[in-house]
Structure 1
């Protein structure tokens, strides 16, 4: 079984503290087969992550957590297997850019009740490849239940990601597929042949994001 944490932030996100090197080290330690680097609206971590990935022979999916705008922020989408940075913008523009890069789109924590949900999930119901059903930082089981229902109703891939902002969160939630490599994993997402495992992270880790914002000032 191929295990991938599809939602991990490096210190290039202003609310995170883990270096690309330590993310890969912790991914190995947690028994993952790969991690996805998905910083907020930036790909600055990619060069270092590529270097460490090659050195430690540990696969990395290059991605980004992109803000969707429509008279303000309405949610976020994980853009995976992309080649270039994608700027925050309207849904149509972001989805088109991902398509042009032959990437994959995952609706991030769509039913989170702490201000991180997707305000208009019906807009993306048939336009993304998957739904982050288990997000390690979503505090309530309601969020997971609603996301799972949404994914099943709309025949979308079921995904899990830690949403790690510090190294100790990596691998708390992850996606599984019966494949052997990243290309197989990519195809599994496109075919809806994925599932999730894991648990929610301790609420204490949210304090890391507060500290990170202070450090990045």
Structure 2
């Protein structure tokens, strides 16, 4: 079984705090076999990570800011445009060969797409039912329940925005250490999840920074 963190941000994300190298080093220290680099609306971090010398397998990906909430596409290195509706984003990602995951689907303050698009879970290949950045576990439990009702595999991700928290969400995957095999195993449901929560003080600090950035952007438009 491979230990994989399927939701990691680097400083290629606008709110990422750590370098690609720091994230890969932390993954190695935590004994992870693979991590997915899923920076916001860019694959540049993933492309850079693939070139780094590391024993950790890099799964290229992107977290897309759709018009309805966030979507993770794994296994691609091309950028999917932001601000398209959720269904169109899934369609384009699938056409590019991606595995589509809906992250934090029921989190009101973090772009949970299932809150706006009632059929969102039906459209994707897997559901992130453990995200380490939830303040409470209620939204994680709801995601797991809805995934089961829809017959969708569950995955976990740290959603780390700092290398310190890489590995806080782990998906155990029954596959050889190859990206296509890992994605196929997820589609088949040959995976299980576990993890621990990001400390509340860290989540709060990062959220406040994000709010300040959004306010600053509005002021300078």
TM-score norm. by structure 2 comes to: 0.88
Superposed displacement of residue 201, structure 1: 0.8
Superposed displacement of residue 113, structure 1: 4.1
Tell me which residue corresponds to 2:72: 78
Q: Is residue 202 of structure 2 the alignment partner of residue 205 of structure 1?
A: yes
Tell me which residue corresponds to 1:102: 97
Determine the C-alpha separation between the residues in 1 that align with 2:193 and 2:88: 29
Detail structure 1 runs of 4+ shifted over 6 Å in the superposition. Answer: none
Determine the C-alpha separation between the residues in 1 that align with 2:112 and 2:58: 26
TM-score norm. by structure 1 comes to: 0.90
Greater displacement, 146-155 / 200-209:
200-209
Superposed displacement of residue 57, structure 1: 3.1
Counterpart of 2:22 in 1: which secondary structure? helix
- 1:43-86 C-alpha deviation (Å, 9 max, x unpaired): 1213321221xx223210110111121xxxx2111110013011
Tell me which residue corresponds to 2:86: 91
Mark the runs of 5 or more structure 1 residues left unpaired by the alignment. Answer: none
Superposed displacement of residue 172, structure 1: 0.6
Q: 1:193 to 1:47 in 2, by over 3 A?
A: closer
Q: Does structure 2 conserve the Cα–Cα contact (< 8 Å) formed by 1:106 and 1:131?
A: yes
Tell me which residue corresponds to 1:47: 47
Mark the runs of 5 or more structure 2 residues left unpaired by the alignment. Answer: none
Tell me which residue corresponds to 1:194: 191
Counterpart of 1:150 in 2: which secondary structure? helix
Determine the C-alpha separation between the residues in 1 that align with 2:50 and 2:208: 28
